A = this chain, B = another copy of it.
Amino acid sequence: MKIAFIGMGTMGKPMALNLLKAGHQVTVHNRTREREETVVEAGAARANSPLEAAKGAEIIITCVSDSPDVEAIMVGENGVIEGAESGAIAIDMSTISPSVTRQIAAKLGDRGIVMLDAPISGGSEGAQKGTLSIMVGGEVSAFQKAYPAFEAMGKTITHVGAIGSGQITKAINQVIIAGTYWGIAEGMALGLKAGLDMEKVVQAVGGGAAGSWGLTNRSDNMIQNEYPLGFRVKFHRKDLNIALEAARELGVPLPIAAFVEQVETGLMTRGYGDEDVSNIARAVREQADI
């Protein structure tokens, strides 16, 4: 397929490379133009703007930082909306606000461009290996047309509902992580202060109802009080804010997600924003003087 890919960041670049590897015809664009180079060397064309990238593409993918970026690229000046043909599919794979997503989709829809929201999880490793989880919202027929592109980038590809649903699913993912990681952090702090052999404790409780991906893969960070990447706490906090905003619009109170977001703000203030999000255990440990 003819695919435009806008956003050559840590995630976008390897994702575009996987599209090339799968035999797609890829045109790339990035605000900082030098970041296009690796992918161009691997066989991609380059475009001067989102408008130009979108011309003649069957699928236009964005993978950037936040709601205003996606808005500017999709429906701003020299944006996708000015270049894409009617019938093209615009797919945003960033993590942004579900309601902003729906606004953008409405504007694109007026020009006959169908939008899917398809945020991802699985980190830069998943982007490189093509094993991302992709949570897709939007029309089923567009999802089916775009499936070969998703397949080149991800492993677990799930259509979850109407436009915006992918973003809400990503928000749910981050909310669950907040509670799960915090629960693990409290448990680890209790055991550390009591002087237990924490490796054995994790082994003892990990096989039962307390078990989780976080306990298996992040409790050691918390025990060592060292938080290599992973997923940056500053990005998790950005995503929690999206979740809290969406929840506020829907009228759903999320007290623990809000609490963890506040703790993450404190960690960022103190210069820990680029550590893995399991560093919320810092706050639990410190309050117990561990």
Beta-carbon contact of B190 and A243 below 8 Å: yes
Using A173-B208, A190-B250 as known contacts, say yes or no to A182 and B256 having CB atoms under 8 A apart.
yes
Beta-carbon contact of A194 and B246 below 8 Å: yes
Minimum CB–CB distance for A150 against chain B, Å: 12
Beta-carbon contact of A183 and B182 below 8 Å: yes
Beta-carbon contact of A190 and B214 below 8 Å: no
* A23 adjacent to chain B (CB < 8 Å): no
Residues on B with beta carbons closer than 8 Å to the beta carbon of A204: 133, 135, 156, 158, 160, 169, 173
* A215 adjacent to chain B (CB < 8 Å): yes
Residues on B with beta carbons closer than 8 Å to the beta carbon of A212: 176, 180, 211-215
Using A179-B183, A183-B182, A196-B160 as known contacts, say yes or no to A256 and B253 having CB atoms under 8 A apart.
no
Minimum CB–CB distance for A106 against chain B, Å: 17
* A171 adjacent to chain B (CB < 8 Å): yes
Interface of chain A, helix or strand or loop or mixed?
helix
Beta-carbon contact of A205 and B250 below 8 Å: no
Within 8 A of B (CB), among A177-201: 177-184, 186-191, 193-197, 200-201
Beta-carbon contact of B288 and A197 below 8 Å: no
Residues on B with beta carbons closer than 8 Å to the beta carbon of A164: 194
What's the Cα separation between A288 and B175 when bound, in Å?
A: 15
Beta-carbon contact of A205 and B256 below 8 Å: no
20 A-B residue pairings within 8 Å (CB atoms): A135-B201, A135-B204, A135-B205, A156-B203, A156-B208, A158-B204, A159-B200, A160-B197, A165-B194, A165-B196, A173-B205, A173-B210, A174-B210, A179-B186, A180-B180, A180-B183, A193-B250, A193-B252, A194-B246, A212-B213
Q: Which residues of A are at the interface with B, using a C-beta cutoff of 8 A?
A: 98, 121-122, 133, 135, 156, 158-161, 164-165, 168-169, 171-184, 186-191, 193-197, 200-201, 203-205, 207-215, 217, 231, 243, 246-247, 250-257, 259, 284, 287-290
